[in-house]
Structure 1
Amino acid sequence: MTQKQALTSSELGTLWMTYQEKTMTLRMLEYFIEQADDNRAKGIMQDTHMKIINYLEDIKAILKNEGAVLPVGYTEQDVNIGVPKLYDNMFDIMFLRLVKEISMGLHTLHLNMAYRKDIILLYKELTAFTQSVYDECVDYLQEKNVLPRPPAVTMPKSVEFVEGTNYMSGFNLFSEKRALNTVEVAHLYHAIESNIIGMQLITGFAQVANEPEVKKYFIKGKELAKKIVTENTQLFLQSDIQPPSTWGANATDSKLAPFSDKLMMYCTSLFCSFGLGSSALGTAFSLRSDLPLKMVSEAKDILTYGQEGGKLMAKNGWLEEPPQMQDRNQLTK
């Protein structure tokens, strides 16, 4: 029999990241399942919860076979399912949809970093599972009429090519800016949509956080999300485009924490990473010169906010270290 290849550093790192994200998702689903009033929503979350447990067992088995210590991640101590609802109905599926959107990107990226057959198969299965859950969430939300669609557009009748550099102009005060194209609208709309959910999520976190510094941090994050939504909405209005309507499912008036500060900080960090990736894509594909600079400015604000969160987690002992490479300088001393 051929000996199985050892895990590479990339594979160990991606398995560790997946473990953190999946254990966080499990804890939040446990709370949302307990609070669910709608049987279909509850069924989607229960099925997702069960399959995540199975994938976590696969990851544990791989790590144990390699002699690697299991991460701590997020445990039953990080959730309190008995407290009142922190969010209105349907926020649970809105949240799950966004988490699956993040997971799809992560699994695709991690698949490209895998070399061993069993790790490749794991991420292929995770990708297919994640896409399936995402589809279920979209179908559910559309049937409930709570998932706004992007703006309508007249279908093009001919192919056009850019003539001159005016198409890319966005800063000339003496010339009119061109209307947004559909690629730019897609990225701006996505930023508005995801930040609306993030703003609702972090509003609830701010209400229930135990540590004063953490509460203050969440309030700052809520204002940052509000700023991004406002600025991108203004860009739509300047091009006479109808911005998306604000979804329902806001935070309730509960002040009892269903999640630990540690878990809520990690969840916010994950959303920050997602926001940075989205801003980078928007910057790359926007041709009007004012848009990339605006998106870079947003990305800088998100990065600064995320770094503040990392320092706060480290200060409180909540920041679990990823597996380290050997420090050769230290070993040779």
Structure 2
Amino acid sequence: MTDRKIYLTSGEIASLWTAYMNESMLKCVLRVMLQHIKDSEINEVIQSAYDVSSNNLEQLQTIFEQDDYAIPSGFNESDINLDAPWLYTDTFCLNYIAHLSRVGMLGYSGSLSLTTRSDIRDYFTQVLNQSVSLFNHSSEVSLSKGITARHPYMEVPKEQDFVESKKYMSGLNPFNETRPLNAVEISHLYLNIMTNSIGVKLCLSFAQTSPTKEVQEFMLRGKEVSKKHIKIFADTLFDDEIEATRLPDLSVSDSTTQTFSDKLMMFHMSLMMTAGIGNYATAAATSQRNDLVLSYERLSLEVAKLAKSGAEIMIKNHWLEQPPGIKDKEKLARKK
């Protein structure tokens, strides 16, 4: 029996649908970025990412056609304005690729783990490797230009150490001294500062270029939430005399010309918030101080509430494409 005769599972259907939506959105954003990038090395990174997304979409369409799977609507050139003025600096575009590559590595590894059919596993193995390559490529260019956001430095351990008391997990009692942060906790705090910094600039660019009042207000709320979270994480580091190292210039222009459709911008922020909640969950699971765990849980709830309000805007305006689902058997029976 060939793979084509094996039906897709729910995990494979979900993973393919999600991949198509994300790749079609990313291809549109990269198409706009390519219009204005001046730096040849950065342009090479963005062009490579664009070519990867284009090829991935073609492969997904082939899989859909072979399995009689309705191709999602997703996003296309009707969702972008190629005549709009430049919106993002070259540095922002390069860091955007690094960030989306991280999201891709996490997302595609999860998708791969949900698949069993060999051709689908081959596809997600390929795109996972592509995400790794894009991350490495963007990182090398950033390093060569001196614009890499480096995690804070600390001394390497000179000897092995073991936890000797339950106090190591404490941090909620203001009357007890809190132990210093460990390397795992520092790394997640700084990673979440970086990702929220990109979120701030994306929200700002979407707010100033959207023609829709409720989208503008949503993006501005998202910007303030990200700024608040950056301050919380930076203050936590500073309490241990650790300064968050300077981030690259992630500037956006002052253009107010609509560049992306409201549908695309709202979907993009939904993707960013989903990734952010995942980052917070990972940080909470690996942090060993109770105050950090509680903080991540509280901030995750704040992001989830913002995401819910965004979904309501998308539903109201018919922008939210529904993932594949099973039919309501009771309704089918009553309609006979």
TM range (shorter): over 0.9
Q: CA deviation at 1:246?
A: 3.4
Task: Report the Cα distance in structure 1 between the residues aligned to 2:254 and 2:327, rounded to whole angstroms.
Answer: 49
Task: Report the Cα distance in structure 2 between the residues aligned to 1:164 and 1:46, rounded to whole angstroms.
Answer: 53
Give 1:200's aligned amino acid: K
- Is residue 170–residue 178 contact of structure 2 (8 Å, CA) maintained in 1? yes
Q: Which residue number in structure 1 is paired with residue 310 of structure 2?
A: 309
Task: Report the Cα distance in structure 2 between the residues aligned to 1:307 and 1:32, rounded to whole angstroms.
Answer: 29
Q: Which residue number in structure 1 is paired with residue 207 of structure 2?
A: 206
For the pair 1:46 / 2:51, whether they are aligned, the reply is no
Task: Report the Cα distance in structure 1 between the residues aligned to 2:160 and 2:51, rounded to whole angstroms.
Answer: 49
Q: CA deviation at 1:51?
A: 2.3
Report sequence identity in percent.
31
Q: Which residue number in structure 1 is paired with residue 319 of structure 2?
A: 318
Q: CA deviation at 1:200?
A: 1.2
Task: Report the Cα distance in structure 1 between the residues aligned to 2:77 and 2:121, rounded to whole angstroms.
Answer: 30
- Which segment is superposed worse, 312-321 or 81-90? 81-90
Alpha-carbon displacement from aligned partner over 1:279-299 (angstroms, at most 9, x marks no partner): 101111111111100000110
Q: CA deviation at 1:301?
A: 0.5
Q: Which residue number in structure 2 is paired with residue 76 of structure 1?
A: 77
Alpha-carbon displacement from aligned partner over 1:244-294 (angstroms, at most 9, x marks no partner): 223313111111121111111111000000000011011111111111000
Give 2:106's aligned amino acid: G
Q: Which residue number in structure 1 is paired with residue 223 of structure 2?
A: 222
- Is residue 201–residue 252 contact of structure 2 (8 Å, CA) maintained in 1? yes
Aligned residue runs from structure 1 range 14-53, under 5 A: 14-53=15-54
Q: Which residue number in structure 2 is paired with residue 115 of structure 1?
A: 116
- Is residue 205–residue 215 contact of structure 1 (8 Å, CA) maintained in 2? yes
Q: Which residue number in structure 2 is paired with residue 238 of structure 1?
A: 239
Aligned residue runs from structure 1 range 250-289, under 5 A: 250-289=251-290
Alignment gaps of 5+ in structure 2: none
Alignment gaps of 5+ in structure 1: none
- Is residue 91–residue 248 contact of structure 2 (8 Å, CA) maintained in 1? no
- Which segment is superposed worse, 312-321 or 161-170? 161-170
Q: Which residue number in structure 1 is paired with residue 158 of structure 2?
A: 157
Q: How many residues align?
A: 333
Alpha-carbon displacement from aligned partner over 1:202-228 (angstroms, at most 9, x marks no partner): 111111111100000000000000000
Q: Which residue number in structure 1 is paired with residue 193 of structure 2?
A: 192
Task: Report the Cα distance in structure 1 between the residues aligned to 2:193 and 2:44, rounded to whole angstroms.
Answer: 29
Q: Which residue number in structure 1 is paired with residue 172 of structure 2?
A: 171
Task: Report the Cα distance in structure 2 between the residues aligned to 1:229 and 1:147, rounded to whole angstroms.
Answer: 18
Q: CA deviation at 1:174?
A: 2.1
Q: CA deviation at 1:19?
A: 0.3
Task: Report the Cα distance in structure 2 between the residues aligned to 1:302 and 1:96, rounded to whole angstroms.
Answer: 23
TM superposition score normalised by structure 2: 0.97
Q: CA deviation at 1:173?
A: 2.1
Task: Report the Cα distance in structure 2 between the residues aligned to 1:258 and 1:160, rounded to whole angstroms.
Answer: 54
Alpha-carbon displacement from aligned partner over 1:71-119 (angstroms, at most 9, x marks no partner): 1100111011221111223111111111111111111000011111100
Task: Report the Cα distance in structure 2 between the residues aligned to 1:299 and 1:59, rounded to whole angstroms.
Answer: 32
Alpha-carbon displacement from aligned partner over 1:38-84 (angstroms, at most 9, x marks no partner): 11211222222122212211111111111121111001110112211
Moved over 4 A (4+): none
Q: Which residue number in structure 2 is paired with residue 139 of structure 1?
A: 140
Q: Which residue number in structure 2 is paired with residue 183 of structure 1?
A: 184
Task: Report the Cα distance in structure 2 between the residues aligned to 1:68 and 1:151, rounded to whole angstroms.
Answer: 47
Task: Report the Cα distance in structure 1 between the residues aligned to 2:179 and 2:34, rounded to whole angstroms.
Answer: 47
**Residues 88 and 51 of structure 1: is their aligned pair in 2 closer, same or farther, counting only changes over 3 Å?**
closer
- Is residue 193–residue 244 contact of structure 1 (8 Å, CA) maintained in 2? no
SS at match of 2:246: coil
